[in-house]
Amino acid sequence: MVETEHSGSSPHSQTLHPNSQISQMTNYQASINSSMLITGHRLNGTNYLEWSQSVKLAIDGRGKLGYITGEIAEKKSGDDGYSVWRSENSLVTAWLLSSMDASIAKPHMFMKTAKEVWDSIKETYSDLENSSQIYELKTKLWQSKQGSRDVISYYNEMVSLWQELDQCYDAEEWESAKDLARHKKREENDRVYMFLAGINRDLDEVKGRILGKKPLPSIREVFSEIRVEDSRKKVMNNTSVHHDDPGESSALIAKGNEKKKPWCDHCKKLWHTRETCWKIHGKPPGAGQKKVERALHTAIPETDQEQQVNFKQPIFTKEQIEQLLQLLNTQKNPKSENPSCSFAQNGSGIGEDDWQC
């Protein structure tokens, strides 16, 4: 419902219904609440590392990081710029509280500064120098292997664990910049060794090349070299042998140190060439006979083969058989001067055709 009132300065001004005013106030309040949500991570007591990192990035992007790090000092009432400091400090505090579960935010609502809230949360929920957390992260790193994953997934997992581990230690102060640089290089070398130890064995060759370099490359350079070699191997393994010359009569396929095998470029099969291909010249007479003979030979039991061999082997020599026949003829026909039977062996066995009378 809209009521129109006439006045001198605004003859057609509009007065909104009370329900419309409530709706506008609700939308305004929702827009304020949504502006307070600076990150999708909400602190629940167990995710401090992820929460703190996302909150720092969001606040730093708004130019207010100094309010939680202490770089922007607290101002007292009456100091120059106090009103600006108080307004921005309250805004940062509201950002922090709105990114926590209500049960965690409640005890921190009455703290005076955003830095006080930040330090209290860090002391309460961070895993700084938490031995059990450090042990868990290092165990995961030691046991992590590439396995069936690609190199990229394996590397990203390792980097994520290293970053979590770094958050468990306070920033150390070094007396010498050289000592700090030496410590950082040793730490990175350890991570290179850990990363290479989990890479599959099929990349041992490139691992050996990397370990032979002095100084040892950075972890990012190592990952890049491993990734390139892994991609090259995948491409080579998927490449098949192609023969582009149609006029070539035959080709020889060689793999490793194996013997070269004849190959026909017409039917694309091994063990013969175009000159002897049945699909071009037809099947010659008697083709396949050797295969049949081999099959029959294989089907005969070993004992039968031995019996056949023994049967074909002559027990007596030809001369001995002749002597036996003469002896038999003499005993049967003592008056006969010439024997009536003779023996002529043909082949390796004794048959009916070998006897002549």
User: Per-residue pLDDT tens for 318-327?
Assistant: 777 777 777 7
* Residue 238 pLDDT level (bands cut at 50, 70, 90): confident
User: How many whole angstroms separate alpha carbon 298 and alpha carbon 9?
Assistant: 118
User: Per-residue pLDDT tens for 185-214?
Assistant: 999 999 999 999 999 999 999 999 999 999
- Tokens 């949500």 sit at which residue? 37
How far separated are the first and last CA of the chain, in Å rounded?
144
Q: Where in the chain are the domains? A: 3-36, 48-125, 131-237, 318-356
User: How many whole angstroms separate alpha carbon 20 and alpha carbon 131?
Assistant: 58
Average pLDDT, the chain: 76
DSSP 289-347: HHHHHHHHHHHS-HHHHHHHHHHHS-SS-HHHHHHHHHHHHHHH-TT-SS-S-EE---S
User: How many whole angstroms separate alpha carbon 55 and alpha carbon 49?
Assistant: 10
Determine the average pLDDT of the residues in 315-337. 69
User: How many whole angstroms separate alpha carbon 265 and alpha carbon 201?
Assistant: 37
User: How many whole angstroms separate alpha carbon 290 and alpha carbon 47?
Assistant: 76
Q: Which residue has the higher pLDDT, 35 or 26?
A: 35
Determine the average pLDDT of the residues in 242-249. 47
The vertex-255 CA angle with 253 and 260, nearest 5°, equals 45
Report the DSSP pairing between strands 355-356 and 269-270. unpaired
Indicate the range of 60-64, 257-261, 340-344 predicted with least confidence.
340-344
pLDDT of 257 over the 80 cut: no
User: How many whole angstroms separate alpha carbon 35 and alpha carbon 99?
Assistant: 11
Report the DSSP pairing between strands 13-15 and 250-253. unpaired
Question: How confident is the model at residue 277, as a pLDDT?
Answer: 83
User: Per-residue pLDDT tens for 274-298?
Assistant: 778 877 777 776 665 555 555 545 5
Indicate the range of 63-77, 222-236, 337-351 predicted with least confidence.
337-351
Question: How confident is the model at residue 39, as a pLDDT?
Answer: 85
User: How many whole angstroms separate alpha carbon 185 and alpha carbon 179?
Assistant: 10
The CA-atom distances, in angstroms, between 193 and each of 136, 157, 197, 207 are 19, 15, 6, 10
To the question of pTM greater than 0.85 for the whole model, the response is: no
Determine the average pLDDT of the residues in 305-330. 65
Residues in the chain: 357
* Residue 22 pLDDT level (bands cut at 50, 70, 90): very low
User: How many whole angstroms separate alpha carbon 302 and alpha carbon 263?
Assistant: 36
Question: How confident is the model at residue 315, as a pLDDT?
Answer: 63
Question: How confident is the model at residue 319, as a pLDDT?
Answer: 77
Determine the average pLDDT of the residues in 231-249. 64
Question: How confident is the model at residue 287, as a pLDDT?
Answer: 61
Determine the average pLDDT of the residues in 29-51. 74
User: How many whole angstroms separate alpha carbon 104 and alpha carbon 108?
Assistant: 8
134, 170 Cβ separation under 8 angstroms: no
Query: Mapping DSSP to helix (H, G, I), strand (E, B) and coil, where does residue 143 land?
Result: helix
pLDDT of 138 over the 90 cut: yes
DSSP 186-246: HHHHHHHHHHHHTS-GGGHHHHHHHHTSSSPPPHHHHHHHHHHHHHHHHHHHTPPP----T
Question: How confident is the model at residue 115, as a pLDDT?
Answer: 95
Say which residues have a Cβ less than 8 Å from residue 118's Cβ, sequence separation at least 6: 68, 96
Q: Which residue has the higher pLDDT, 24 or 65?
A: 65
User: Per-residue pLDDT tens for 161-194?
Assistant: 999 888 887 777 788 888 889 999 999 999 999 9
